[in-house]
Amino acid sequence: MNKPETKNRSPKEGWSIFPLIIILVLDLWAFNLLLAIRWSDSWGNRGTFGDFFATSNTLFSGLALAGVIYALIMQRRELRMQREELALTRQEFKGQKDEMHQQNEHLYLQRFETTFFHQLRILLDTADSTTTKILGTLQNGDNAFKHFVDALKSTDSKMKSDDDRLTDFYNLVNSNSPTMVRFFKNLSSLFLFVSNSRIPSTLKTDNLTVIRSQLTDESSLTVHYYGATPLGKRSIRDVANRYGFFNERDALLILKPSDRELYEATAFRSD
């Protein structure tokens, strides 16, 4: 951190001339005394002679006043230098504070990334362990989400209202895939973790993009409908609306074009 350049002035600057002034005053006093003794042979004459040099008293008084004024000027200079040093100290402390703030933000971002990828790993493990058992057929992992989407399409949801389609979705999840509920809960926790962090909004969007890139189209479709249910509105839909999560391909997979309106336009990114 660069410090501003200042003049390097010593607080004792100027005081070296003060002893010279004292010596000059003593010399003048001694000179007057010698003149009085040399040129006057009586104390009366010496008194008269001394009165002749009464102006010396005025000179000395003036010198004393000048010394006081000089001392005040030097004190004012010292106070100004102290204020400059205090200003430099405050500026240095501010620079250290800003540097510490940057370090704290960098450490926070590192901790965030560590936690984010740990939770993402848990989410993907949950997706791999998801199972569905529909009409006696058991499916695991990605096939479980495909099987679930096929079953959802077979319920003729296209002809139903939005609330009825969401009800069909919710009932199908609860009755055929309890493990998928755990997937949605982990995803909700991850969404809220990103949303509630203090990282910039652009990084939040980037992190949601990373999550979407790790999901299959079928699992993303289930997220679309889960986010529209009462359980997923706050954690899935609101965060997706704010930072974007789905891509344009997701919009082509929904059961009915109007289902896109379950979210705001900002929830769909243009890849």
| 266 contacts 204 by C-beta, under 8 angstroms | no
Is-above-0.85 flag for pTM?
Answer: no
pLDDT in tens, 226-239: 888 888 888 899 99
pLDDT in tens, 152-177: 777 655 555 666 667 777 777 777 77
Q: How many CB atoms lie within 10 A of CB 93?
A: 10
Distances (CA, A) of 92 to 8, 95, 96: 17, 5, 6
| 252 contacts 154 by C-beta, under 8 angstroms | no
pLDDT in tens, 10-19: 545 555 666 6
* The one-letter amino acid at 143: N
Indicate the pLDDT class of residue 1, thresholds 50, 70 and 90: very low
Quick one: pLDDT at residue 160? 59
pLDDT in tens, 37-46: 666 566 566 5
Q: Which residues contact 159 (CB under 8 A, 6 or more apart)?
A: none
Smallest Cα–Cα separation from 148: which of 164, 135, 158? Answer: 135
Left (φ > 0), alpha (ψ -120 to 50) or beta: where does 160 sit? beta
Question: What is the rounded average pLDDT for all residues in the chain?
Answer: 80
Phi, psi (rounded to 5 degrees) for 139: -130, 150
pLDDT in tens, 177-221: 788 889 999 999 999 999 999 999 999 999 999 999 999 999 999
* The one-letter amino acid at 122: I
